[in-house]
Amino acid sequence: MSNTRPRGETFDQTDVDLLEYVENDFDVNLNVLSEELGLSKSAIHYRLEKLKDRGVIRGITADLDPVPFGLDMVALTEVSVTHEQGYSEDIGTELAAIDGIEQVYYTMGDVDFVTIVRVQDREQMNEVIDEIVGIEGVKETSSRFVMDEIKSTPRVVSVMSEEMKRVVQDGDR
Amino acid sequence: MSNTRPRGETFDQTDVDLLEYVENDFDVNLNVLSEELGLSKSAIHYRLEKLKDRGVIRGITADLDPVPFGLDMVALTEVSVTHEQGYSEDIGTELAAIDGIEQVYYTMGDVDFVTIVRVQDREQMNEVIDEIVGIEGVKETSSRFVMDEIKSTPRVVSVMSEEMKRVVQDGDR
DNA sequence: AATGAAATCGACCAGCA
DNA sequence: TGCTGGTCGATTTCATT
């Protein structure tokens, strides 16, 4: 389109392909990647290390299924706070520290925080909500139960449109 | 507490420790884990393979930082649909397929879906919203911008309280 | 930034508790 | 079934270009 100025950093095609691959599966031998991307094994390794150093790859993690742990009860909980002081940042940190709270977003608008809570049963859900309400400065909460997690394991490159990729792309190799 | 019947499967202390470790950092050599958990390299390897086979470990993935890609604009978008047919499931799938939509939850209550959208700029945000509205059966949307992602990379075991762990625990070794 | 060779580490096997 | 120790193959590292 018209705007080709890169926001953020730039990546070549190989990096984008490599990253899209490993963000879905890092349990690979380098031979496959090597052939797939047409580069030597050492070069793949070198690029991966550089991407780690740059902080693009924050880490390598095991993706766990919550279901075997009985963690199949999920709720989206909105949290409103009193706006007397600049407490908001602290309250966010406190929310993030509560067991069972998986994600915390600080939002604009009528509510201040949206959290995603994951627990094993209703009793634990009540406990989490009680903990939230117990935080100083929290005014009220409102929860919605999740009936189905249609897509719940965030990916970065895999979710980008071609246009989004174009914006951060630089050379072709 | 009173309820000690395990929901889901059971794990021993070593598995829980191992899983908590690798869900935050799988970029370790087995020697470190071996010492840390007081088990031989082979045993660690054996347990990891078994946990993969059981589906507890769904995969090994690279955790990417969205910021270097300029993906720093995030919104929580609620989607309401018409309730004439049993379309809901299909609509969820269609939402999940849209570029820029990172997470999709099917919820009870006044709205039907909550999505998390991640893009590079307002123009792309508009495009995503337009795509959502363009889905047949979608009635209306409502979006909130995220000002701060306080906690946005879901973890499973690391977020469990001691009580939650107790519920799925079995032997001590 | 990429290569090929050398050192290191992980995957696999047979045997054992 | 779960663990050990040892072997082989793969990966990481490094000197070189």
Q: Which residues pair with B144 in a beta bridge?
A: B76
If phi over 0 gives left and psi between -120 and 50 gives alpha, with beta otherwise, what is residue B91?
Answer: alpha
Give the model's pLDDT for residue B3. 46
Q: What is the pLDDT of residue B5?
A: 54
Q: Range of A22's domain?
A: 13-62
Query: Which amino acid makes up residue B148?
Result: D
Is there a single domain that holds both residue B80 and residue B140?
A: yes
Tell me, what CATH number does B45's domain have?
1.10.10.10
CB B149 within 8 A of CB A110: no
Cβ contact (<8 Å) for A152 and B23? no
User: CB–CB of B161/B1 below 8 Å?
Assistant: no
Strands (E), A9-129: 57-64, 73-81, 101-107, 113-119
pLDDT of residue B172: 58
- CB distance A20 to A157 below 8 Å: yes
Q: Does some domain include residue A153? A: no
Q: What pLDDT digit, counting tens, does each position of A87-127 carry? A: 788 999 999 999 999 999 999 989 999 999 999 999 999 99
Q: Is residue B161 part of a domain?
A: no
Residues 81-140, chain A, touching B (beta carbon < 8 A): 89, 92-93, 95-96, 99-109, 111, 113-114, 116, 118-121, 123-124
In this complex, do A156 and B23 lie within 8 Å of one another by their Cβ atoms?
A: no
Tens digits of residue pLDDT in B36-64: 999 999 999 999 999 999 999 999 999 99
In the 3-class helix/strand/coil scheme, how is chain B assigned residue by residue?
CCCCCCCCCCECHHHHHHHHHHCCCCCCCHHHHHHHHCCCHHHHHHHHHHHHHCCCEEEEEEEECCHHHCCCEEEEEEEEECCCCCCHHHHHHHHHHCCCEEEEEEECCCCCEEEEEEECCHHHHHHHHHHHHHCCCEEEEEEEEEEEEEECCCCCHHHCCHHHHHHCECCCC
Nearest by CB to residue A107, choosing from B19, B76, B156, is B76
Instruction: Report residue A115 as tokens.
Output: 């959290």
- Considering only the beta carbons, identify the residue of A61, A116, A159 that sits closest to B118: A159
If asked whether residues A94 and A25 sit together in one domain, one would say no
From residues 154-173 of B, which are strand D contacts by CB within 7 A? 173
| Contact: B152, A108; criterion CB under 8 Å | no
Give the angle subtended at the CA of B84 by the CAs of B78 and B89, to the nearest 5°: 55
CA distance linking residue B120 with residue B125, whole number of Å: 8
By CA distance, what is B90's nearest residue in A? A150
What nucleotides of chain C have any atom within 7 angstroms of a protein Cβ?
A: 1-5, 9-14
The pLDDT of residue B2 is above 60 = no
Residues of A in contact with B63 (CB under 8 A): 23, 57-61
Domain contains B168? no
- Alpha carbons B151 and B155: distance in angstroms, whole number: 10
Q: What is the per-residue pLDDT for A60? A: 97
What predicted TM-score, i.e. pTM, was given to this entire model? 0.94
At A25, the amino acid letter reads D
CA separation for the pair B146, B72 (Å, rounded): 9
Tell me how far CA of residue A60 lies from CA of A31, B54, B80, B105, in angstroms.
19, 20, 36, 26
Where residue B129 sits, what CATH number does that domain have? 3.30.70.920
- pLDDT tens by residue, B56-112: 999 999 999 999 999 999 999 999 999 876 778 899 999 999 999 999 999 998 999
Q: Which of residues 139-168 of A touch strand C (CB under 7 A)?
A: none
Residue A135 within a domain: yes
Same domain, B71 and B56: no
Count Cβ–Cβ pairs < 8 Å, chain A vs chain B.
277
The amino acid that residue B95 corresponds to is L
Residue B155, in any domain of the structure: no
Picking from A21, A72, A84, A80, the residue whose alpha carbon sits closest to that of residue A48 is A21
Give pLDDT tens digits for A73-94. Answer: 999 999 999 987 677 889 999 9
